[in-house]
A and B are shown apart, each in its own frame.
Chain A
Amino acid sequence: MLEFMTILIIKTLVAFVVSLLIVAYSTWIERKVLGHVQLRHGPHRVGFHGLLQPIADGIKGFFKEELLPDNADKPLFLLAPIISIGAAVTLVVIVPFGDKITIMGREINLYLTDLDVGILLVLAISTIGSYGGILGGWSSGNKYGVIGGLRGTAQMISYELSLALAVIAVVMVSGSLSLIDIVNSQTGLWNIVKQPFAFILFIICGLAELNRTPFDMPEAEAELACGFNVEYSSMKFALFFMAEYCHMFVFAALVTTLFLGGWHGPVVDGPHWFFLKVFIVIFFCVWERSTFPRLRYDQVMSFGWKILLPFGLLNIMLTGLWMLVFNL
């Protein structure tokens, strides 16, 4: 029992440190890639090619002045970033980094839990995370914040559906809700080949859930002056920021798990393939951000309800038909 607990605690620590490092350095990747796309250098002064920039930013976040707006709903205002980051970091629990490995004669799973309903947990907790943004916008007593929060809510509700539909298609093909089983079912052929439409649907809806650029309704800089986090300063703002990038890491991990074969890869299976794929997906997130302009709000809504939702349903029907015909 003691051994089990020790292994679990060490595993948890390692998983969270690795995830938070990836979160910190995805901000560096974001700034660097955006810079190079715009023919700039990006951060370059702090450390070698700006590699210490996330740490400098973190220190700066801690030492900046905290402001509490007069007409803010104070308990909620303080609670919102905690909900946001809490939900985001909780999602790391289900990320399957790799398969079993043997260290010092003990078999150790390179994931924290193997839940039977892993993917449902992801959908549930990521929705709780969106409460952070909504409450933050609502409680800050600012027009922009309220509008940002409301937009965030509407967008979450609209795109969560299509996201779930994309996931259902994958679950149908894999035959399990557990992320480990889903990875293991892709040993020969990755799900991106079996389910290309679900992949596209999942990427689009995932970007909307992440509030990334073609769908960054809640924090549209040009219209809402930063949206739901407009009144937040110092570390509370940094927590929202971290939550956003943590969601991006989890999104990348989910795309890897559901569609790109998780830790499977040519030559040797292992966590290195997982991290490589996660990096590629994170790069894609930044790349598309640098390319697309923001959609108009009504376009976002009509795209979600009129195109993605029927598309997802059709995909499920076709998958079912395909499975029926080929008797899988």
Chain B
Amino acid sequence: MADKDYAMNISDRRPTGKFITPILKGLGYTLKNFFSKPITIMYPTERREVSDRWRGLHRLKVDEQGALKCVACGLCAKICPPQAITIVPYEEAGGTRYPKEFVIDELRCIFCGFCQEACPKDAIELSKVYDFVDYQREDFIFDIEKLKNPEKFIFNGK
């Protein structure tokens, strides 16, 4: 029967007569591990490099003049699956549009990256910041100022 392949017969568990060599082999293996370099790292003082495609906290990009690239078209808010983005647009007399309010609820966000793909102006992207922590739910609701510089929120162990 097939169950003999995975179920251990009692007779298979009897001592095979080999004791010393396996014991010494095991000791040698652990000693080799003891002298090799640990694979863990000293987070948060050391951190692993994440992929360039990593999807972390959002960043609102700015142009050379320091103004937001965003034109408040609302495509990101439209495509956002959990509807985490809220935009209040504002249009000046000359036709320049910019967001008066741009709020992302980072607790609702599922970090799918659709907003980045949908944006026609390349104004929003997902940064590599993955370890933002805070104490209040309100602190996870990011406005324009917080979204401009997500690197500020990298966890430093404090």
Closest beta carbon of chain B to A76's beta carbon, Å:
39
Asked if B34 contacts A291 (CB within 8 A), the reply is no
A292 within 8 A of B: yes
* In the assembled complex, A196 has its CB within 8 A of some CB on chain B: no
The residue among B33, B34, B38 with the most chain A CB atoms within 10 A of its own CB is B34
CB of B33 within 8 A of CB of A38, answer yes
Determine, out of A29-37, A117-125, A184-192, the stretch whose residues face the partner at the interface: A29-37
- B interface residue count range (under 10 / 10 to 19 / 20 to 34 / 35 or more): 10 to 19
Q: Whole-angstrom distance between the alpha carbons of A277 and B62 in the complex?
A: 66
Residue B42 lies at the interface, judged by CB distance under 8 Å to chain A: yes
From 33 to 57 in chain A, residues with beta carbon under 8 angstroms from any chain B beta carbon are 33, 35-41, 44
A36 touches B26 (CB 8 A): no
Name the residue among A33, A290, A291 with the largest chain B CB count within 10 angstroms: A291
A287 at the interface (CB under 8 A from B): yes
Asked whether A41 lies within 8 Å of B30 as measured between CB atoms, the reply is no
Mark each residue of chain B from 1 to 39: 1 if its CB lies under 8 Å from any CB of chain A, else 0: 000000000000000000000010011011101111011
For A269, the chain B residues whose CB sits under 8 A away are: none
Q: Is A288 an interface residue (CB 8 A)?
A: yes
Residue in B23, B27, B38, B42 whose beta carbon sits within 8 Å of that of A39 in the complex: B38
CA distance A203 to B48 in the complex (A): 43
The answer on a CB contact under 8 Å between B33 and A39 is yes
Q: Tell me which residues across on chain A come within 8 A of B23, comparing CB atoms.
A: 291-292
Q: Is B40's CB within 8 Å of the partner chain A? A: yes
Question: How far is it, in angstroms, between the C-alpha of A290 and the C-alpha of B36 when the chains are bound?
Answer: 15
A44 touches B42 (CB 8 A): yes
Q: Which of B27, B29, B33, B42 contacts A36 (CB 8 A)?
A: B33
**B41 to A, closest residue via Cβ:** A41
Q: Whole-angstrom distance between the alpha carbons of A39 and B34 in the complex?
A: 7
Determine the chain B residues whose CB is within 8 A of the CB of A44 once the complex forms.
42
Known A33-B34, A287-B34: A40·B27 in contact at CB below 8 Å: no
A291 x B26 contact (CB < 8 A)? yes
Q: A40-B40, A41-B40, A41-B42 are in contact. Are A292 and B26 (CB under 8 A)?
A: yes
**In the assembled complex, which residues on chain B have CB atoms less than 8 Å from the CB atom of A39?**
33, 36, 38-40
**In the assembled complex, which residues on chain B have CB atoms less than 8 Å from the CB atom of A287?**
27, 30-31, 34
A10-44 Cβ-contact flags toward B at 8 Å (1 or 0): 00000000000000000000000101111111001
State the B residues within 8 Å of A (CB): 23, 26-27, 29-31, 33-36, 38-40, 42
Could you name 11 residue pairs across A and B whose Cβ atoms are closer than 8 Å?
A33-B34, A36-B35, A36-B38, A39-B33, A39-B36, A39-B40, A40-B38, A41-B38, A41-B42, A288-B27, A291-B27
Counting from the closest, the 6 A-B pairs by CB-CB distance are A291-B30, A291-B26, A39-B39, A37-B30, A37-B34, A36-B34
